[in-house]
Amino acid sequence: MRMHRGSSKGPRDRSRGSESLPLSASPSPPEIELTIEITRAGTVDRRTLTVPKGALIRSVLKQLGEAPEGCAVLIGDVPQPLDTPLEGSSTLTVLPTFSGG
């Protein structure tokens, strides 16, 4: 008698082994270290942050308490879209573009 897929009885299909791993067994994504330089009113606030590889610039800004839509972000001298995934350690320059008042 063949049981439904979730049954613990009966013969098992061993070819689907990777699907049955518990979530805790999934490898965590590699992490990258970022240096963030927030430039505001002639001063630079430098912070270091460790995030999973592939994190979006938008999520990094939110994690720092910055408003993503109110910032321009540069890597080197090149402006970056907020939905750019970060693939390696780098320095982000964050330029807030509104006064907040």
For the stretch 41-80, pLDDT in tens is 889 999 999 999 999 999 999 999 999 999 999 999 999 9
Any bridge partners for residue 33, and if so which?
Answer: 50
Q: How far is CA 88 from CA 5, 38, 67, 80, in A?
A: 40, 19, 23, 14
In a domain, 92, yes or no: yes
Query: What CATH number is associated with residue 65?
Result: 3.10.20.90
Nearest CA to 94 out of 55, 25, 36, 41 is that of 36
How much is the pTM? 0.69
Structural domain containing residue 64: 35-96
End-to-end CA separation in angstroms for the chain? 72
What's the structural domain count of the chain?
Answer: 1
What φ, ψ does residue 23 adopt, rounded to 5°?
-60, -30
